[in-house]
Amino acid sequence: MSQDGRGAHQAAQVRQPRGPLVVAPVEARAPKVDEVRVDVLASGICGADAGTVADPAPGNGFPVTPGHEVAGVIVELGQGVDGWEIGEKVGVGWFGGSCGYCTACRSGDVVHCPRRRIPGLSYPGGWATTITVPANALIRIPEGLSMAEAAPFGCAGVTTFNALRDSGAEPGDRVAVLGIGGLGHLAVQFAAAMGFETVAIARGEDKRKDALELGARHYIDSSQEDAGQALRDMGGCRLILSTAASSKPLAGLVDGLVPHGSLTVVGFDGTPLQLPLDKLVIHARSVTGHLTGSPTDTEQAMRFALASGVRPLVQTRPLHQVNEALDVQKTGRARFRMVLTPAD
């Protein structure tokens, strides 16, 4: 180990268009003013990371180190950092810092800062053994969560938690979750814990058992029946939360909303939504998007999870198996979140 205490580290890097990822030695970057360095103990694989890996022309050029669901321990503090200590367990999520002075930041809406920073895009991300980040991106990890469980809260956990609690749905309302994957399996748990009559929608009977065990009261196999019609037959939903990567089913699902109901989209593939406006106007329905949450939102999601028993279900792989782990995630074989760790 060197005199500065940083020693040798590794990172999974994309070095050319469309990969593959190469795990290579890297030099840990010393934290600048208002930054900290964190040794990574767990880092989740999000669907958006697959897009980062496949990007043929990243904004900051090659190499790229993806990863925005990070859990680890502070090992170095930059000048001017107050309120944090070496040895603290912390996370870093999709929100990786903001300017602090724009209208969004000054109003407390840091997630929508036009200069927001994203690990893996704005600077090297968490598929590594160390990461250096702005101190205002840090998330305190409470006792009771393992590092592998804590990591997915930085994106999948806080995104689904916020989308549900900010939806306007109330305990006892019927809420549907489309997709039972990395985001969806958390959304079903959160929805049930918040007191919603939870409906899970996915393709195939193989997901039914998982959905019911996660807390859903109803399961709709969208490969066998029209999900929008099935929701109408139940009496309709106050909220449909779409966590699936495909946007194709959304237009038909809108028919399953009650008057004043909302379709909230957190997972999508970029396909334009073809939706007759009469489906919205006549029934006063709405379609909204939702994007992640702040560090304090993430901490609240973690505390709620500890109080209610919600947990991400993870499969861990060592960093040197990153290509295999990414393939498991991309092909839908994960149950339900792949998480990288520094070693076996």
Cα separation, 139 vs 157, in Å, equals 13
Q: CATH for 8-155+293-341? A: 3.90.180.10
Task: State pLDDT tens for residues 192-217.
Answer: 999 999 999 999 999 999 999 999 99
- Confidence at 5, pLDDT banded by 50, 70, 90: low
pLDDT reported for residue 249: 86
Q: What is the mean pLDDT of residues 287-296?
A: 95
Name which of 159, 224, 223 is nearest 185 in CA terms: 159
Cα separation, 30 vs 95, in Å, equals 21
Q: What is the mean pLDDT of residues 21-25?
A: 96
Domains 8-155+293-341 and 158-289 share a fold: no
Cβ atoms within 10 Å, residue 95? 29
Name which of 184, 179, 171, 67 is nearest 127 in CA terms: 67
- Confidence at 344, pLDDT banded by 50, 70, 90: low
pLDDT reported for residue 270: 74
DSSP 279-291: HHHTTT-EEEE--
Angle between helix 156-165 and helix 295-308 axes, rounded to 10 deg: 80
Q: What is the mean pLDDT of residues 99-104?
A: 96
pLDDT(77) > 90: yes
| Torsion angles phi and psi, residue 262, rounded to 5 | -130, 145
pLDDT reported for residue 2: 36
Specify burial of residue 17 (Cβ count, 10 A radius: 0-12, 13-18, 19+): exposed
Task: State pLDDT tens for residues 83-95.
Answer: 999 999 999 999 9
What's the maximum distance between 2 C-alpha atoms anywhere in the chain?
69
Top-level CATH class of 158-289? alpha beta
| Torsion angles phi and psi, residue 136, rounded to 5 | -75, 0
267: Cβ contacts below 8 Å, ≥ 6 apart = 47, 179, 183, 184, 242, 243, 244, 245
User: What is the β-pairing status of strands 174-178 and 237-242?
Assistant: parallel
How far is C-alpha 296 from the geometric centre of its chain's CA atoms?
15
320: Cβ contacts below 8 Å, ≥ 6 apart = 23
Break the chain into its structural domains and give their ranges.
8-155+293-341, 158-289
Cα separation, 341 vs 344, in Å, equals 7
Q: What is the DSSP letter of 58?
A: -
Task: State pLDDT tens for residues 144-185.
Answer: 999 999 999 999 999 999 999 999 999 999 999 999 999 999
Q: What is the mean pLDDT of residues 19-32?
A: 94
Q: Indicate the pTM of the whole model.
A: 0.95
Cα separation, 16 vs 53, in Å, equals 9
CB 91 within 8 A of CB 151: yes
Cα separation, 274 vs 253, in Å, equals 12
